[in-house]
Structure 1
Amino acid sequence: MPTVPILMPQLGESIAEATVVRIDLVLGGEVKVDQEVIEVETSKATMGVTTLCRGTVKEILAKEGETYSVGTLLALLEVSEEEVAKAGVDTMEAASDRRTAAAAAPPLEKNLHFALDDDSYEEAPAVVPSVKGLPVPTGTMGAHYISPRMRARMNDMGLREADISAIAGTGSGGRVTVEDLEKFIDYIETWPSSNASPMRLAVADAMRRSWTRPLATVGLPVRLDRVLEHRRQQDPKPGLTLYVLRAFALALVEDPASAGFLMGQKVVHPRAFDIGVAVQVEDGVVVPVLRKVDQKSLQELTNEYSQMVERGRRRRLSEDDLRGGIATVTNFGTFGLTSGTPIPLPNETLILGLGAGVKKPVWSEQVEAFLPVTEAELVMTFDHRVVDGGGAGLLLSRVAKLLQEPEKL
């Protein structure tokens, strides 16, 4: 008699796999049309797998507690010829005949645009790591799905999805299984390690949340000669960070929506131009917030900033000192870096970075000669849901233009 497969169905547009939690099948038992015979659990809900026709259970391949990808063969039914014709279902024998015919046919010209053939319900082969040590998964389908069992084990161990990115999954489509996780934990057991500090854990959590958004970065070289000349005439001398901070605030006053954040179908605009400054401390970064930057002079900001940095490095900042910023400025040029891609905090849409100044020869039409110019890279990373590349470019150009008139800052 013909046999009909019971396959793991497509349970949702983004569902690649599901875990079997209950099997209501008995070898030799009868099943009806549209009878729920297997209960499965996805990351979103519990659902049932139903039969397409009447028949007798010939073989049960699925196991409770195991996770299977969409299209995996879960069980086989033995059905009559009349039932096959009546229900219009595909049989294992028909699929086998098609594969045999396809194998005997002349080879087709290779084409990158292809579809799955009729045996797509068979379980995908296990993923073979491409390198040793920290293996790299070669599969993609289902690799990002985490089964309920795996998620429960990760919760027990205090792990997040990003923490298992170094593990090559051997499950269907590259899925990382509990066994893969346990094997990897055993593998690194003897490696040197240290406990992450609360500061490092806080930074890691903030960056994980930030990276859930579509972030993009634009850059623009800016001349610093006029800023440096103006700075030499000041007492006390403002840092380059404060010049950028002040120019950034004035540019945002002209375009406040760029610093807004998306909440549902609304862009919430800033109510004040409070901007944070990234300060490197032991094992991490803190971002104290300077209030109403658009309304304060460079000298006022210099005194306030010095106090904030001092308190930050002594870990004496209050919660109020760290909250409420609409954007951040970071000067990675202090480390000699000429460029970078800073990441905004989760509650902010923008972060502006300044690279190290570099002397460059620039041609002058006035004197018809190359003149030495100090130039630095100004980069801005933004939430692309709120700001487009053109808008970010205009905002960055405005900041660069304001820096050419430091006396107005």
Structure 2
Amino acid sequence: MSIELKVPVIGESVSEIFIGQWYKGEGSTVAVDENLVELESEKATLDVPSPSAGVITKILKHAGETAEVGEVIAYLDQVSAAAPAAKAPEKAPEPAPAPPVAEAPKPAPTPEPPKPAPAPTPAAKVEPPPSEPAKTPTPMATQPINHTAKPANYAQSLQVGAGNRTEEVVPMSPVRRRIAARLLDATQNAALLTTFNEVDMTAVKELRGSLGEAFEKRYGVRLGFMSFFVKAAVDALKQCPEINAIIEGDKVVYRRYFDVGVAIGSDRGLFVPVLRNAEEMTFADIEKSITDLAKRAQSGNLRVEELQGGTFTITNGGVYGSLLSTPIVNPPQSGVLGMHSIQNRPVAIDGQVVIRPMMYLALTYDHRIVDGREAVTFLKSIKDAIENPARILLEV
């Protein structure tokens, strides 16, 4: 029986998806729940499993093409998967009678009558004159073909004439289109401003060094830097509620809960899954959640609801070596905290120049709702909490 493989419902507002890679091709045998194809929407990327064991008989939508929710993208034959397996053992012993059939080639000598074929050869010699005029139209036929294949010929001519100067055109995925649209919206419809500070990471590094091993043994996850910054950000947002608020028309909505989005880079693009009620999470809760979200972001198994509704965002460009940047707010949020790489730098402490592991922090905020005082206060609060982690632990 043939089964239609349709695009599943991904989210309420998602009507079109982008076909990623097919893990199985036409004629491939698949098992139940084995991943068949990668689908991307503007909100998430997911793998579609096979509803049944069988063989993919036809792929209608290929990688790079778009399809609508509910549209058939391939056909799966349930019967042909089991049939070959069952019939194979029965037909295996039958090859024995096949040898006598091998004697059949004796009629092969019958093709000897074609010997009169040499006779037509003189006729072929007579045909050369007409074949020569036939050659003249062929170059004319190649000209329009070259014109229709202009993009390919253009790339080839550049490669031959001027080295490897080829171009590749790849359709923008829905996720990338969504990111582009939202960031453009932020720059056009918000009054964005960035303020900076720097933080001494000595205390956090020492704490991780002394308690990191015990933490990992107890909770099964490493104690990273992000949990400190999430806790510090929640504390700072409580002091500066404007940064956790949004503008709706001519009103300001103050959120009294703290859903912190954590930017995660992957081969599939940038995702910002949300830690719900981060104010109630422990360090272990935060680290476990981030580890799980990062793994599922790489595999494309994040759920749509996990990417929606954040009140504030933290992004860490330091993992890629960024020394300083100005992150862009994720609308309708009013602020985003940028972390950067840790570098040993000379700083003055108590009148002495010492070398300390320093990190630049950047807060980009919507100046329509957040004033400079709140922005500076927020960053100063983050700095104080990171340089004195006991503040976070004791919530003072």
TM bucket (normalised to shorter chain) is 0.5 to 0.7
Compute the RMSD of aligned alpha carbons.
1.9
- SS of 2:285's partner is helix
Alignment pair present for 1:200 and 2:185 = no
How far apart are the structure 1 equivalents of 2:241 and 2:349? 36
Corresponding position of 1:401: 384
Amino acid corresponding to residue 352 of structure 1 in structure 2 = L
Per-residue CA shift, 1:170-224, capped at 9, x if unaligned? xxxxxxxxxxxxxxxx9xx976432212221121111112112111100001111
Alignment of 1:215 with 2:198, yes or no, is no
Cα distance in 2 for partners of 1:341, 1:245 equals 19
| TM-score w.r.t. length of structure 1 | 0.51
Aligned match of 1:226: 203
User: What is the match of residue 354 of structure 1?
Assistant: 339
Contact in 1 for aligned 2:244/2:258 (Cα 8 Å): no
SS of residue paired to 2:310: coil
Point out where structure 2 has 5 or more consecutive residues left out of the alignment. Answer: 1-150, 156-166, 217-221
Instruction: Identify the residue that residue 372 of structure 1 maps to in structure 2.
Output: 355
CA distance in 1, matches of 2:391, 2:276: 19
Matched, 1:382 2:332: no
Q: Which amino acid aligns with 2:224?
A: G
> How far 1:401 sits from its partner (Å)?
0.7
Match of 1:285 among 270, 274, 278: 270
1:332 aligns with 2:308: no
Using CA pairs under 8 Å that are at least 6 residues apart, name the structure with larger relative contact order, 1 or 2. 2
Q: Is the 8 A contact 1:351 1:381 kept in 2?
A: yes
Aligned partner of 2:323: which letter? T
Matched, 1:391 2:374: yes
Contact 1:252 1:258 in 2 (8 A): yes
Query: What secondary structure sits across from 2:346 in the alignment?
Result: strand
Tell whether the 8 Å contact from 1:230 to 1:407 is kept in structure 2 after alignment: no
Q: d(CA) in 2 for partners of 1:381 and 1:192?
A: 35
CA distance in 2, matches of 1:196, 1:204: 10
Deviation sequence 1:292-334 (CA, Å, 0-9, x none):
1122221121111111111111111111111111010001001
What is the CA–CA distance in structure 1 between the aligned matches of 2:208 and 2:369, rounded to whole Å?
34
3-state SS of paired residue (1:379): strand
> 1:254 aligns to what?
239
Which stretch shows the higher mean deviation, 351-360 or 305-314? 305-314
SS in 2 for 1:377: strand
Q: Deviations over 1:306-363 (max 9, x none)?
A: 1111111111111111111101000100111110011111121110011101101223
Instruction: Show the 5 A alignment for 1:287-326.
Output: 287-326=272-311
2:222 matched to 1:245?
no
Number of equivalent positions: 220
Aligned equivalent of 1:273, options 244, 258, 261: 258
Tell me how far 1:238 sits from its aligned partner: 2.3
Supply the distance in 2 between the matched residues of 1:407 and 1:300 (Cα, whole angstroms).
18
Per the alignment, residue 17 of structure 1 pairs with: none
